[in-house]
Chain A
Amino acid sequence: MSEKTIEKTAPAEGAVSDKATAAEEKAAARQASLIRDGWEILRKRPMFYISAFVIVILLALAIAPGLFTSRSPFSDGFCQLQNSLNPPSSGHMFGYDVQGCDIYTRSVFGTRNSIIVGVVTALATTALGGLLGIIAGLRGGWVDTILSRVTEVFFALPLIVGALLIMSIVGGGDAWSVSLIMAVLGWPQVFRIMRGEVIANKHNDYVMAAKALGADTTRIAFRHILPNTLAPVIVVTTMNLGVYISAEAALSYLGIGIQHPNISWGLMISDATDRFLTSPHALLFPAAVLSITVLAFIMLGDVVRDAFDPKMR
C-alpha cells in the first residue's frame, strides 16, 4: 500500500514542454548530485591529496623546468664525457649518465614530454573513442557494426606491436608523434565503454520518458544520455593518464618512442641498461621519477574511480 500513501498523481493534461524541462532538470540534478557526491568522497581521501600534490609538482616541472635547475640540457658543454657515469655527488644529486650528462637536470627536463604524452593521449583517445562510441551507440545498425568490428581489429593488435609497426613507418618521434600513434591505437578502449554506456542509457526509463514527451534526438543525446555516460569516461580517462605515460616510457625504452635528442625517461633508462650492473644510479633515478609519476596518476585514477563510479559505491 505504500505507493498509495504518496499524494495524488498530477493531472494528466500538464504542458508537455514543461514536463520535458522538468525531466531534464531532474536528469541534470542527478548528474550534479553524482558529481557533488563524488567530490565529497574525494575530499575525504588522503590519497587524493597525495596524488594531487605530486601532480601539481609534476605540472610545475613540465611547465617551468628552469625553476628547478640552473642548468639546461640543451646548452653547450652540458655533457662532459669525462664525467661519464659518475655517481651522485653534491650539486649533482642523481649523478651522471654514460654521456656525462647531469641526470637530475635531464630528469627535470624529461617531465614535460611524459606529461604531454599522458595528457594528450588520454584526451585524444577520449575524444576520438568517445565521439565514435556515441555515434555507434546512438545510430546502431550498420554504423555500429562496422565501428565495432574495427575496434575488434585494434584490440587484436597489441599496443607495442602496433606502435612498433607505425613507428618504423613514420620514423622517429617526439612527444607529439608518440601521443598521436598511441591515440590511434588506444581509442577503441574508450569507444567500447562509451558505446556500452550509451546503449545502456538509451533504454533507461528517463530517456524513454523524454522521448515520449517529444524531445528530439539531439536533445536526448546531449541533455540526457551524454551527462550520464560522463562518470565512467572521466574515470577511464584519468586512469589512462598514468597508463600512457608508462607506455611511452616502454616504447622509448624499446627505441620506438621518443628519440634523441628529445629527452624521455624511458630513453634515459634504456641508455642506462647496458651498464646497469656497474652503475645502477643512471637507471634507478630516472626509473624512480617515472614510477612516482605513474603512481601519482594511477592513484588519482583510483580515487576518482572510487568516487565517481556508481558501481563502486
Chain B
Amino acid sequence: MGRFVVRRILQAIPVLIGVTFLIFYLVFALKGDPIQALAGEKRADPNVAAMLREQYHLNDPKIVQYWHYITGVFTGDLGTTYTGRPISEIVSERFPVTLKLALTAFGIEAVLGITAGIFAALKKGKFIDNLVLISTLVLISIPVFVLGSVLQLELGVKVGITPVAGIDDGWPNSYILPAFVLASTSMAYIARLTRASMMESIRADYVRTAIAKGLPRRRVIGIHTLRNSLIPVVTFLGMDLGALMGGAIITERLFNLPGIGGQLAKSVYLRERPVVVGLVTLLVLIYLVANLVVDLLYAVLDPRIRYE
C-alpha cells in the first residue's frame, strides 16, 4: 500500500509540472505589457517599470521565469501580484468560498446521484427508473447558467427560501442553491453511471453465487453488488472535483459569490499574470490531490488493484 501511494505521488509530479508549464506559457503569451497595464492610462515611469521588471524576473528568459515560479510553488510561495500583494493572501481570502461551494456540490452530487442511480437500477423499467432517466436527461440538457437563473428567480426571489446572491447568510444557507446548481449536471451523470454500473454487476456471477448462498436480498445488494458498482462512480467523482472547481466560475458569477472563479476571470481580464498562474496551479493541485485520493479509495474498494 505504501509503495502504491508513493508511486502515485511520483506519477503526479510530471503532470503538475506539465500543467504549470503550459499555464505559465499561456499566461505569459497574454497580450499587453503588465507593467503598463498596472499604470493604467498614463505612461509608466521608465525607472519604476525597469525596477519592477527586474523584481518580477520579467527580463529573464521564460524558462528561468518558470523556474523561479515553480520553485516558489513547491516552497508554498505562490508569488505576489504586480501591486505587491501576496497571492497567498488572495487565495486565503477567496479560496474558502470556492472550496465550500465545491465540496457542498460534491456532497450533493454524490449522495443524490448515487441514491437515485441505485433506486433506478433496482426498479429497472418501473416508474422510479423512468423518472430518474428522464429527469437526468433534462438536467444534463439545461445549461447550468439557465438552471441557476431560473432557480434564483423562483426560489430566491419569488418564494424567498434561499438568498438570491452573496454569502452573507454563511454556510449552508448561502451555499445550498449555488452548490445544487453547480452539482446538477454531474449529479445526473452520476445517477446514470451508478444505474448502469449497478445493473451490470447485478448480473455478475458472484451475485448469483450470493443468492445461491441464501443471503437476504438486502445483503446481496448492499454487500455483494453495491461496492463493485461504485468503482466506476468513484473514478468519475474524482475526476469531477476538478471540473467542479472550474464550473464554480459560472456559479460564482451567477450568484455573486466572492470565490476563486470570479477572481480568476477578473485577473485574466486585467492581465494579472502571477495571479492567474497561481490560481490555476492551485486548481490543478486540488485536482491531482483529489485523483490521488480516488486512486487510494479505488484500491480500498477493489483489492485486485493493490497487488498489481
Contact = CB atoms under 8 A, between A and B. Distances in A.
B162 to A, nearest CB: 15
Interface stretch (B2-10, B139-147, B222-230): B139-147
B246 A273 contact: no
7 contacts: A149-B18, A157-B23, A161-B249, A254-B250, A269-B149, A287-B142, A299-B137
A295 interface: yes
B146 A280 contact: no
Given A158-B247, A254-B265, 5 more contacts: A149-B18, A161-B249, A254-B253, A277-B153, A277-B157
Interface in B91-140: 137-138, 140
A73 B288 CA distance: 46
A145 B95 CA distance: 34
Interface residues of B, number: 48
Nearest to B185: A246
B30 A168 contact: yes
A81 interface: no
Q: Determine chain A's interface SS by DSSP, over half rule.
A: helix
A276 interface: yes
B18 A153 contact: yes
Interface in A143-176: 149-150, 152-153, 155-161, 164-166, 168-169, 171
A91 to B, nearest CB: 26
B143 A298 contact: no
Interface in B143-182: 143-146, 149-150, 152-153, 157
Nearest to B148: A273
A249 interface: yes
A164 B137 contact: no
Nearest to A294: B141
Contacts of B283: 158, 161
A255 B264 CA distance: 13
A242 B138 CA distance: 12
B125 to A, nearest CB: 14
Contacts of B14: 149
A250 B144 contact: yes
Contacts of B138: 295
Interface of B: 14-16, 18-19, 22-23, 26-27, 29-31, 137-138, 140-146, 149-150, 152-153, 157, 196, 200, 239, 242-243, 245-247, 249-250, 253-254, 264-265, 268-269, 276, 280, 283-284, 287-288
A109 B300 CA distance: 53
Given A158-B247, A254-B249, A290-B146, A153 B141 contact: no
Contacts of B29: 169
B250 A169 contact: no
Given A254-B249, A294-B143, A311-B200, A169 B243 contact: no
B140 A287 contact: no
Interface of A: 149-150, 152-153, 155-161, 164-166, 168-169, 171, 242, 246, 249-250, 253-254, 266, 269-270, 273, 276-277, 280, 283-284, 287, 290-292, 294-295, 298-299, 302, 311-312
A291 B143 contact: yes
Nearest to A265: B143
B242 A158 contact: yes
Given A158-B283, A250-B250, A298-B141, A273 B15 contact: no
B141 A165 contact: no
A156 B242 contact: yes
Contacts of B140: 242, 294, 298
Nearest to A167: B268
A290 B245 contact: no
A106 B242 CA distance: 35
A273 B149 contact: yes
Given A153-B18, A295-B137, A165 B288 contact: no
A277 B165 CA distance: 13
Nearest to B152: A276
Given A250-B143, A283-B149, A295-B137, A155 B249 contact: no
A273 B16 CA distance: 37
A249 to B, nearest CB: 5
A24 B276 CA distance: 54
B141 A156 contact: no
B141 A242 contact: yes
B121 to A, nearest CB: 13
A252 to B, nearest CB: 10
Contacts of A168: 30, 268-269
A161 B22 contact: no
Contacts of B137: 295, 298-299, 302
A169 B283 CA distance: 20
A164 B19 contact: no
A291 B254 CA distance: 18
B153 A165 contact: no
Chain B CB count within 10 A is highest, among A152, A153, A161, A269, for: A161
A160 B145 CA distance: 13
Nearest to A288: B146
